[in-house]
Amino acid sequence: MKISRRQFLKLSGIAAFTAMAAVKLGCSPQDQQDVEELNIKYEKEISTICPYCGCGCGAICCVNDTGEIAAVIGDPDHPINEGALCSKGSAMLNLRNVYDQETGELVLNPNRATKVLYRAPYSEDWEEKSWDWSLEKIAQRVKQTRDDSFEAVDKNGITVNRTTAIAHLGSAAIDNEENYLMVKLQRALGIINLDHHARL
């Protein structure tokens, strides 16, 4: 492919003007490499949030043209971590990919759950279920348990509107706003056994 010096004229900067005049000054590369056949690889950078703790550090996934994640780095423009990642965050790539111990190749992490698994009462086996089925089932059981155990007043006649049959354990990987919404939901259901899951 022949690129004319005129095309370099469009480049801004002194280096561009130098490159433009280089031929006439006798210092332009004579054996300009033909780039027509040169192989290149395209990738994209996609921002994400580290799932490990409640800090919510920003990360960038480098994704190649087949959709595979090539690398994960700290997001320099994220206000919380400004490009840094802890040792767990730095290993975020291994949530999806791990190195095969025999071949050394990067392969999909075989321990990563990618579908909903359900074990029925008294069963020893896991079954794959859809998200719709699972959410429906969770909603039904929460409603059923709450309705069966709901107390409007306690034994002293004091209004309590509560259920003690359900408990909720928070998550270390969610932020303040998500915690607020979760507590709001639990209180609306009448759940009083709430606890945090801080990773301190």
How many residues bind to other proteins according to rule CB under 8 A? 50
DSSP secondary structure letter of residue 11: S
Report the C-alpha gap between 168 and 196 in whole angstroms. Answer: 8
Q: How far is the CB of 22 from other proteins (least distance, A)?
A: 5
When the beta carbons of 19 and 53 are compared against other proteins, the nearer one is 19
Cα–Cα distances (Å) from 3 to 6, 7, 27, 33, 41, in that order, read 8, 7, 17, 11, 21
- Closest distance of CB 100 from other proteins, Å: 22
Residue among 31, 59, 55 nearest 45 (CA) = 59
165 alpha carbon, distance to own chain's centre: 33
Minimum CB distance to other proteins, residue 87 (Å): 17
Give the phi and the psi of residue 60 in degrees, each rounded to 5: -120, 130
Q: 2 vs 155, which CB is nearer to other proteins?
A: 2
Out of 14, 120, 158, 169, the residue judged to bind other proteins by CB under 8 A: 14
Q: How far is the CB of 103 from other proteins (least distance, A)?
A: 21
> Interaction with other proteins in 44-103: which residues (CB under 8 A)?
44-47, 60, 73-77, 82-84
Determine the interface stretch with other proteins among 11-19, 105-113, 166-174, 178-186 (rule: CB under 8 A).
11-19
> Residue 58 burial (CB < 10 Å; 0-12/13-18/19+)?
buried
Q: Which is nearer to other proteins, 35 or 158 (CB)?
A: 35
Torsion-angle region of residue 122: left (phi > 0), alpha (psi -120 to 50) or beta?
left
Q: Is 164 in the site for other proteins (CB under 8 A)?
A: no
96 phi and psi angles, rounded to 5 deg? -100, -40
Length, in residues, of the chain: 200
CB of 175 to other proteins, least distance (A): 21
Footprint on this chain of other proteins (rule: CB under 8 A):
1, 3, 5, 7-22, 24-33, 35-36, 38-47, 60, 73-77, 82-84
